[in-house]
Structure 1
Amino acid sequence: MIIDESFQTTDVGEAEQIARRVYPRAELREPATGDFAYQHFTRGENGVNFTRFKINSRMDIAVDFHDVAAFGLRLAGRYAVESNRDQIDSSQPFLFTPGPGSSGSEELDVLMVNIDTEHLAKAAAARQGVDDARLVFGRHEAVSPVMRAHWMRTVNYAWNSVIQVSDVFHNDAIRAATFETVVTAALAAFPIDVAARARTFDFASSAAVRRAKAFIEDNADQALTVTQVAEAARMSVRALQLGFQRELGTTPMGHLRDVRLDAARAELRAADEDTRVADVARRWAFANLGRFAAQYRARFGENPGDTLRR
């Protein structure tokens, strides 16, 4: 069902009832001081919605985020936030994890992306190749500056180009694709994992492993980290490691090492008399020559110098 609604009120009790349309267990704890005005704008569908709240005065709010993950972006005002008794830095995109949350605000303008945990779990299951997903939430901030920036770009596009443009929002194909992108970005940007799961082969997981392999092979001469590979594959590090183990019998970094060794061997075989083993090793991101030689022997049964002299 499509949600498309907007409200304004100057009554605190009515504001609480409106807030409960999004968070059924919301409670406006303290009476507002001075003039009070509340604005509420929501659009969404199928377990995903964008809601913008504006409250012009001081207000303390308690919410039990029951079966929902609420991703917040403070646009203006003061906003002191807690989620499951953890204090949250609201100057950056943040996550209210399922459970009790509270806030104290003044002149608040905040955008919330609310995703039902059931919807989020189904997306996580499909993404990680599992039959059934039980979500495990980590910290309340993004996993890295890069993923935080990606999340902000995704939310800004969805909000400014789709949600607020009525004709675009009511286009079924655009709305569905936008919400799918938002859910995928949320799973990638925040520390949300899957536990107690039953595995099954999944073409989405296989495709992600192929993306990771291609990224490794295209950038094998660079100083890659497993986090960079996971971001390129659009998977969590844990899911990527499990996918590589299941499909290739190795780890992402193990595959990277083998790609580099194969490339170094090919270069040594084609080398001229001026080529040095150390130069080839460095070219393929082996900083330690002794470790390179040991790994080379383990893979090919000979020293790199033996290959060079043939």
Structure 2
Amino acid sequence: MTSNASTGSTLWGRSVISGETTVSYLLNHQVFASQDLHLARDVLSDLNSIDALDAIGTNRNVDVAIHFAELAGIGLIYASFGGGRVYIETPAIDEENLFFMFVTSGSAQVQHGKYECNISSDLGLVRNMRLPLSATEDNFSTLGTQLSLSLLRAHAQSLTGHDVIRSDLVFDPALDLTRPETRHVRDTLQYVATALDGPLTQFDGPHIRTELRDMLLTNILMLLPNSYSDVLNGRPAPMAMPHYVKRARDYIHAHAAQPIGLQELVEYSGCSYRTLQSAFGETFGMSPMVYVRMVRLNGAHNDLLVAEDGDTVATIARKWGFAHIGRFAAMYARQFGVIPSETLRRRF
């Protein structure tokens, strides 16, 4: 079922197509490859992946390759369609899944339900698999992951507390790669894909795979705009709350980089210690001081993403009130699934 490309070659994960060099992923996990348009159409149709696949223009060659790797219950997918222009239609699927798609070469004009956009290296897509999708693709390849909403909700609850998440989880369909946060998610996905093609091909440790999966889920939930973003990032959430909780919450956000004590919050909010503790638990699923820590960690995280040359983990941690760097690194890793030095290293 597989075939070698006539329009290019592959060497160490770099595909040369019509004189352009692009990066390929999951090379050790290829499940289908063909230059036969009819065969590709039939096979992908049988997999319920497409309704239509056609070459457009004078160059009617196709070079379809699908790579798939499993990671602790989730799937990573790399797909490429060669150096020409291709039109593709994919059906709606009756599953509560989202596909997070980052373009690795070329571009595509996409119709996703009522949403229309041109995706490229600057703009990816969050596809709701319950909506049909059609696209005209040019020299197109993509790396993505398909995740169930139930898994994402469960991971969000593990990050925030069981009673915090009350509404449906909805993502902005546009993956804006001018945002450093979105680039960080893309880099994390590429890092995981590279690990699956490298060290994890020889070592099949389930704990490492689970940690990589959780790191990816945490980054997607914390850094991509979605309906849980306010709660996950410790920002004021659109929910009814007692006025004294709102006063304490607003005070925390305004003074997060300064020393804040519980007695100070009690005095500012105008209620008793016990009332504030109880109300914060009912509203946010955590105590006031845990909320303070979450806001500070998010402030440090955002600063690491946009750090300048010369900035260090230690200086950013101290700015946000973390005097002990080891404890800061441990708390940061629990919240974001990656150590702070790794975030600093991957910043753009």
TM-score, with structure 1 as normaliser: 0.58
Distance 1:72 1:129 in 2: 29
1:90 paired to 2:114:
no
Aligned to 2:77: 51
Distance 1:236 1:18 in 2: 43
Q: Which runs of 4+ in 1 moved over 6 A?
A: none
Give yes or no for contact 2:72–2:213 (8 Å, CA) kept in 1: no
Match of 1:179 among 213, 222, 237: 213
Match of 2:105 among 76, 80, 83: 76
Unaligned regions of 5+ residues in structure 2, if any? Answer: 1-27, 265-348
1:255 paired to 2:286:
no
Alpha carbon RMSD of aligned pairs, Å? Answer: 3.8
Give yes or no for contact 2:72–2:209 (8 Å, CA) kept in 1: no
Match of 2:157 among 125, 138, 151: 125
Call closer, same or farther: CA 1:64–1:140 in 2, change over 3 Å.
farther
SS in 2 for 1:34: coil
Q: For each residue in 1:232-286, what CA deviation from the matched residue of structure 2 results, as whole angstroms up to 9, or x when unmatched?
A: xx92455x6479x69x9235432244676979xx9xxxxxxxxxxxxxxxxxxxx
Larger Rg: 1
1:10 paired to 2:35:
yes
Q: For each residue in 1:205-237, what CA deviation from the matched residue of structure 2 results, as whole angstroms up to 9, or x when unmatched?
A: xxxxxxxxxxxxxxxxxxxxxx9xx7xxx9245
Aligned to 2:48: 24
Give yes or no for contact 1:47–1:116 (8 Å, CA) kept in 2: no
SS in 1 for 2:119: coil
1:107 paired to 2:133:
no
Distance 1:178 1:82 in 2: 32
Q: For each residue in 1:136-170, what CA deviation from the matched residue of structure 2 results, as whole angstroms up to 9, or x when unmatched?
A: 23342249813112212212211223345542673
Match of 1:154 among 188, 210, 218: 188
TM-score, with structure 2 as normaliser: 0.53
Unaligned regions of 5+ residues in structure 1, if any? Answer: 195-226, 267-310
Q: For each residue in 1:114-139, what CA deviation from the matched residue of structure 2 results, as whole angstroms up to 9, or x when unmatched?
A: 11222222223333434676322334
Count of residues in Structure 1 that have an aligned counterpart in Structure 2: 222
Which AA in structure 1 matches 2:154? K
